[in-house]
Structure 1
Amino acid sequence: MGAIGRFTISLRLLLALTQMAAVGLGGAVHAVTQLSRTDTTYTRVLEQEAAGMVLVTRAGLHAHNDSRLLQSLFVERDMPARQRILGERDRAQRRFRDAIARAQDVLPKETAALDDIERHFETMFDSGQRIEAALLAGEDERALRMLQEERLPAFESFRRVAQTEVARLHRRMDEISEEATRKAERAWQVTLLTAVLAVLLALFLAAWLLRRTVIAPLDAVAARMRALEAGDDRAPVPGQERADEIGRMARALESFRLAAIERRRLGHEARTDALTGLLNRRALLETLETLAGGATPLLAIAIDLDHFKQANDTHGHATGDALLRAVAQRIRAALRAGDIAGRLGGDEFVVILAGTDEAAEAVAHRLRDTLNGPVEIEGRLLRLGATLGIAALPRDAGTPAGLLEAADQALIRAKRIGRGGVGRAAARAG
């Protein structure tokens, strides 16, 4: 697209300069007319291909969102929250189908490939419906088995089909661009043969105009493209306000930039707890896997709120959610630089830190003290308190998952003694 846009605008500027120089050669006019027709035809095709590719990419993002929401049903036990997740899944599925339908309108020649993508999604959808029904019926093990044996393979198959179609659209756009460039070059040669005098007379002015109106804007767009390739998607693409080929190219590139931002946002949401913004269990385990094996021992502090269920039952789930958000803020405030906090679910939190047992003890007592303070929710002062358990890797566990389990066992032992304490993991056998 960039080569076509640069070439076409150059010829249009050259035609204007030829007219200013009073060299009204019929051959040049005919050549430029043919070039304009070629450009219009291929630009329209390229715009359709680019729009279709964006729609297929968006459909893939909605399918990923549906899978993420389905997995969150395994963790979420609160029925109103589950109903909210089910509603979000319905919206993601509708948006997927809408994106595919719009892509079929834009790319009528791609109906078979798009139908194939939709069939794979419907296979995922049917599997998701069965998993959803099993979860709502309390059959968690059967739902997990269906997730592993049906849903995940179906999602992987869908992902491969969608990626294949996007790659094919990319190749098609390259082929169209190359064909348009060849035709534009032939028209350019005809124009050169019939308008050499006009080019010579207007060379200086053409160079100035090209630099100002074409090359500099294209360079700016190319710079943003290189930045996007390097992972920098912060700044919008310049030149979108233009009505010419450069503007269309800039707007198409902006669509890809926004899609990249959306993909990054979805990836962030998959690693964080939606209510508190802390890391979720998956992200905590990934972090522990990354940090394990270092020279400094890793420690986990499991945190359980002592009176959360009573407050939640007495004042309602909205108050309970507000309490959990307030607790998350207090945990963040009590940590040192480099410490990591996450929520495992319900009123269970965990802190990961590197250092000595003494450092972990100090952090645990600071957490306990800050969580013992009253929390004001809608004008009411509520007291929760917390019991904590500490475990170390590799002393108390051999794996990241084992570390979290050891910290939880230490917390349970502390509760047996009395709420509000800080327990330590028992010595590991062997």
Structure 2
Amino acid sequence: MRPGFSPEWRDPVFTTPAVIASTAAALALGLCSLYLTSALRRARAALADAAWKLTHDPLTGLLNRAGLLATHTALARTPQPILVLLIDLDEFKTINDTHGHDTGDDLLTEVGDRIDQVATLHGGTAARLSGDEYAALLPAHGSDPARVAEAFVVLIAQPVHLTAGGDIVKVDPTASVGVAVVDSTDALDDVALHRADIAMYHAKRHGGNRHVHYTPGMSMPASRLRHGPRVRDLHRSPGEGDA
């Protein structure tokens, strides 16, 4: 007898067609169950990934507009004052054109990290809305809007060393920040971002690298409403859109 070979396996009871068939069925069921578990795990991961992509910006990992809206909707369940900041990089197109789109993307990611850092420090949430435009929602209770906005401006303006064409280049980014304090039940687009947008236009109009707080009576050119100011809007006639 071969070592390790048990004689009971020669017993007919273990070699009948019924036993062989049931054993094969059990093995098949086990393999099927294992496959289904793996497939289910992959499906759940795919769904989670799809859900993440619906609410997040793929470049920076920040919330996108849909994610910001969901956050605002959650905040609106409890009426409270909130601080809304709309942040637009100054002269980003020049940086992008000079150093290339890859370097521009790296800068957008770095700036996004800085904005997220300040927003998180103050108990808030950051988002990238489009291009070089970001937003942040923070609780307003007990905070000084000017000091919070200044923290964003100062951190964003720290030099960044990026790779461009195989070389390391130093970039000095700055941003124009519009600030508005609204109630959490106010509409995000029509009130909160709208007011911050107007304030940001005035920050950009006065040279950028600063923050401006929205006050009643502020306005900006009608063609720019809700889309956020850009450098090209500053070439309009003096005083157009001013309060």
- Give the shorter-chain TM-score range: 0.7 to 0.9
In the alignment, which residue of structure 2 is the partner of 1:262? 46
Distance 1:416 1:29 in 2: 88
Distance 1:318 1:331 in 2: 20
In the alignment, which residue of structure 2 is the partner of 1:381? 170
> Of the two structures, which has the highest relative contact order with CA contacts closer than 8 Å and spacing of 6 or more?
2
Distance 1:375 1:385 in 2: 11
Among 317, 320, 340, the alignment partner of 2:101 is 317
SS of residue paired to 2:144: helix
Q: 1:21 to 1:270 in 2, by over 3 A?
A: closer
In the alignment, which residue of structure 1 is the partner of 2:18? 34
Letter in 1 for 2:207: G
In the alignment, which residue of structure 2 is the partner of 1:370? 155
Among 417, 422, 425, the alignment partner of 2:206 is 417
Letter in 2 for 1:388: V
Q: Percent identity?
A: 29
In the alignment, which residue of structure 2 is the partner of 1:330? 114
In the alignment, which residue of structure 2 is the partner of 1:399? 187
Figure out how many residues of one structure are paired with residues of the other and give that number: 207
Q: Which has the larger radius of gyration?
A: 1
SS of residue paired to 1:388: strand
Superposition misfits of 4+ residues, deviation over 6 angstroms: none
Distance 1:416 1:394 in 2: 27
Give the structure-2-normalised TM-score. 0.74
How far has the Cα of 1:415 moved from its partner?
Answer: 2.1
2:91 corresponds to 1:302 = no
Distance 1:300 1:270 in 2: 22
Q: 1:313 to 1:408 in 2, by over 3 A?
A: same
Distance 1:304 1:382 in 2: 16
Distance 1:338 1:277 in 2: 18
How far has the Cα of 1:391 moved from its partner?
Answer: 1.4
Distance 2:94 2:181 in 1: 31
Distance 2:197 2:124 in 1: 18
Letter in 2 for 1:252: L
1:111-190, aligned counterparts within 5 Å? none
Q: 1:29 to 1:374 in 2, by over 3 A?
A: closer
Determine which structure has the larger strand proportion and give its number.
2
2:45 corresponds to 1:271 = no
- Could you give the per-residue CA deviations for residues 74-117 of structure 1, whole angstroms, max 9, x where no partner exists? xxxxxxxxxxxxxxxxxxxxxxxxxxxxxxxxxxxxxxxxxxxx
**Stretches of structure 2 lacking an aligned partner (at least 5 in a row):** 1-5, 219-243
SS of residue paired to 1:303: strand
Distance 2:20 2:182 in 1: 69
Distance 2:76 2:66 in 1: 15
1:11-26, aligned counterparts within 5 Å? 20=8
Letter in 2 for 1:255: A
Determine which structure has the larger helix proportion and give its number.
1
Q: 1:357 to 1:405 in 2, by over 3 A?
A: farther
Letter in 1 for 2:148: V
- Could you give the per-residue CA deviations for residues 281-314 of structure 1, whole angstroms, max 9, x where no partner exists? 1110111011114243122111011121111111
- On the 8 A contact 1:292/1:400 being kept in 2, the answer is no
- On the 8 A contact 2:122/2:138 being kept in 1, the answer is no
Q: 1:350 to 1:29 in 2, by over 3 A?
A: closer
How far has the Cα of 1:408 moved from its partner?
Answer: 1.1
How far has the Cα of 1:374 moved from its partner?
Answer: 1.6
Distance 2:92 2:10 in 1: 86
Give the structure-1-normalised TM-score. 0.43
In the alignment, which residue of structure 1 is the partner of 2:225? none
SS of residue paired to 2:78: coil
- Could you give the per-residue CA deviations for residues 219-261 of structure 1, whole angstroms, max 9, x where no partner exists? xxxxxxxxxxxxxxxxxxxxxxxx6643442232122112211
Distance 1:299 1:365 in 2: 13
Letter in 2 for 1:425: Y
Q: 1:334 to 1:34 in 2, by over 3 A?
A: same
In the alignment, which residue of structure 1 is the partner of 2:235? none
Distance 2:204 2:212 in 1: 8
